[in-house]
Amino acid sequence: MDAPPASGSATGIDRARLEELLAGELERFAESNPGSQQLYERGRGTLLGGVPMSWMAKWAGGFPLFLREASGARIVDVDGHAYVDFCLGDTGAMAGHAPPATVAAVAEQAARGVTTMLPSEDAIVAAEELTGRFGLRGWQFTLSATDANRFAIRLAREVTQRPKILVFDYCYHGTVDETFATLAGDRVVARPGNVGPPVDPALTTKVVQWNDADALEQALAPGDVACVLAEPALTNIGIVLPDPGFHDALRELTRRTGTLLIIDETHTFSAGPGGCTAAWGLEPDLLTIGKAIGGGVPAGAYGVTDDVAERVAARADADYEDVGGIGGTLAGNALSLAAVRATLTEVLTEEAFGRMIPLAARFAVGVADVIENAGLPWHVTELGARAEYRFSATPPRNGAESAAAGDEELERFLHLYALNRGVLMTPFHNMALMSPATSEAGVDRHTEVFTEAVRDVLG
């Protein structure tokens, strides 16, 4: 999930033609999805906005498709249309839908009890697996990546006794109050559309541009920042990769100023079995992750280094076990942990990533060829099993540049065009994710549809 892209910034597009094509696609969508439309209308009677979670209304067709079933990289809607799914639940289903090993573990555990407030052995196996992949020990489990980030931030503030956190402009780390901050010039302000912020985010948060080590140095210098919360690469405003050396600077500056570094691998897990942390040799003090690790079953986790674990334990007055602000009644439940264990040990394995990553490369080559042949000033970026195209000639270096390369209308048209032809992209920007069940044929279907969409737009 992320900020809405800027409207109409893609160059070389005839806007009147785009508008006309979009209207045609909307008509086609409505005609071919009567079952989904009917359910949506019925849902409006009792669901806020007609959907169980407000962002489900974001799909490009004006109403969402309703799910009949999903398996592997394939979704079937209630009208019987099948889709190649590159959205994969915005990473929640990176393991593929209903992966057999996870389904079997979940079914077995559900029959033996779901939530008891007692730990299960699966928790230990899951934590051992995470340690093997990411290098940190000292794991805790949550139900979401948002919660993992919230608790990691609390721990960072507790052990450093510092009030602020620092994030990068146009980041997204879940619905974490402190992170809905952006830059207006040099000033920190609330992200546009921020719903009911508890306080002015400038009180809690410093913001700098991604890849700007000088600004980072300045922001950390006063020593009032508990932690930097960062994805290894921005993934929620398109993909914005780190410049060579930026992570070294980030680590050196955080260490020098006694600031903890929290790396959020929720999306960048696509880089490999140990995310970017393993792939790029990062050394976070705390690491957070969620979405994919449970194979679609709600689960998140955060891990800490031995040093942070000692500092956490040393805070004698902090209440970690009851009403101190960390935890959740269902967090660490046996069902989630059975899902995490099965997903990590049997589905999102090293071998699986070995198949997923070349598929993202195939996707990117297909898109890049279309862009080049059409002479469009667009580009495509890969991050392991994830690829994304964006409407600027060169890859942006920070979130603000990437936001400026957004084009809401064009994006909507491309998404809807794909949807009407059996290809499902994430409703947020132009991201495509590969699962262990994704096939070359599925990737090639996207290339075909993208080729036709671009041809139609250019006329």
Considering the rule CB under 6 A, would residue 386 count as an interface residue with ligand PLP? no
Shortest Cβ 42–ligand PLP spacing (Å): 27
CB distance 162 to 228 below 8 Å: no
Angle between helices 350-374 and 440-458 (to 10 degrees): 20
Taking CB under 6 A as the binding criterion, the range among 188-196, 264-272, 323-331, 385-393 that sits at the site for ligand PLP is: 264-272
Count CA atoms closer than 13 A to 189's CA, side-chain side: 8
Considering the rule CB under 6 A, would residue 144 count as an interface residue with ligand PLP? yes
Taking CB under 6 A as the binding criterion, the range among 131-139, 145-153, 192-200, 319-327 that sits at the site for ligand PLP is: 145-153
Considering the rule CB under 6 A, would residue 142 count as an interface residue with ligand PLP? no
Considering the rule CB under 6 A, would residue 191 count as an interface residue with ligand PLP? no
- Give residues with Cβ within 8 angstroms of 391, minimum separation 6: 9, 10, 11, 377, 378, 405, 406, 407, 410
Show the DSSP H helices in 33-144 as ranges. Answer: 34-43, 100-110, 121-134
Count CA atoms closer than 13 A to 435's CA, side-chain side: 30
Residue whose token pair is 């080590």 = 213
Considering the rule CB under 6 A, would residue 231 count as an interface residue with ligand PLP? yes
Please give the Cα distance from 96 to 419 (Å, whole number). Answer: 19
Q: In the set 182, 236, 343, 392, which binds ligand PLP (CB under 6 A)? A: 236
Q: Please, which residue, 145 or 425, has the CB nearer to ligand PLP?
A: 145
Shortest Cβ 256–ligand PLP spacing (Å): 26
Backbone φ, ψ for residue 305 (5° rounding): -75, 165
Considering the rule CB under 6 A, would residue 164 count as an interface residue with ligand PLP? no
CB distance 223 to 385 below 8 Å: no
- The helix (run of H) or strand (run of E) holding residue 226 is strand 225-230
Shortest Cβ 240–ligand PLP spacing (Å): 13
Beta bridge partners of 143: none
Report the candidate in 60, 9, 173 with the shortest Cα–Cα distance to residue 423.
60
Shortest Cβ 45–ligand PLP spacing (Å): 27
Angle between helices 408-419 and 15-32 (to 10 degrees): 40
CA 50 to chain centre: 24
Give me the 345-374 binding string for ligand PLP, x by CB under 6 A, dash otherwise.
Answer: ------------------------------
Shortest Cβ 230–ligand PLP spacing (Å): 10
Taking CB under 6 A as the binding criterion, the range among 77-85, 143-151, 344-352, 381-389 that sits at the site for ligand PLP is: 143-151
Give me the 305-344 binding string for ligand PLP, x by CB under 6 A, dash otherwise.
Answer: ----------------------------------------
Considering the rule CB under 6 A, would residue 266 count as an interface residue with ligand PLP? yes
- The helix (run of H) or strand (run of E) holding residue 407 is none
Give me the 48-87 binding string for ligand PLP, x by CB under 6 A, dash otherwise.
Answer: ----------------------------------------
Taking CB under 6 A as the binding criterion, the range among 113-121, 167-175, 311-319, 392-400 that sits at the site for ligand PLP is: 167-175
Q: In the set 162, 173, 247, 446, which binds ligand PLP (CB under 6 A)? A: 173
Q: In the set 157, 291, 311, 386, which binds ligand PLP (CB under 6 A)? A: 291
Considering the rule CB under 6 A, would residue 270 count as an interface residue with ligand PLP? no
Tokens of 371: 């862009």
Please give the Cα distance from 428 to 4 (Å, whole number). Answer: 8
Q: Which residue is nearest to ligand PLP (CB)?
A: 174
Please give the Cα distance from 134 to 142 (Å, whole number). Answer: 17
Considering the rule CB under 6 A, would residue 296 count as an interface residue with ligand PLP? no
Tokens of 101: 């090993």
Q: Please, which residue, 267 or 311, has the CB nearer to ligand PLP?
A: 267
Considering the rule CB under 6 A, would residue 277 count as an interface residue with ligand PLP? no
Count CA atoms closer than 13 A to 419's CA, side-chain side: 29
Taking CB under 6 A as the binding criterion, the range among 139-147, 152-160, 216-224, 407-415 that sits at the site for ligand PLP is: 139-147
Considering the rule CB under 6 A, would residue 146 count as an interface residue with ligand PLP? yes
Please give the Cα distance from 317 to 350 (Å, whole number). Answer: 42
- Give residues with Cβ within 8 angstroms of 186, minimum separation 6: none
Shortest Cβ 54–ligand PLP spacing (Å): 13
Taking CB under 6 A as the binding criterion, the range among 119-127, 141-149, 207-215, 408-416 that sits at the site for ligand PLP is: 141-149
Angle between helices 408-419 and 440-458 (to 10 degrees): 130
Sheet hosting strand 379-383, strand order edge to edge: 379-383, 386-390, 431-433
Beta bridge partners of 441: none
Considering the rule CB under 6 A, would residue 221 count as an interface residue with ligand PLP? no
Taking CB under 6 A as the binding criterion, the range among 21-29, 106-114, 168-176, 196-204 that sits at the site for ligand PLP is: 168-176
Give the residues lining the site for ligand PLP (CB under 6 A): 1, 90, 144-146, 149, 172-174, 231, 236, 264, 266-267, 290-291
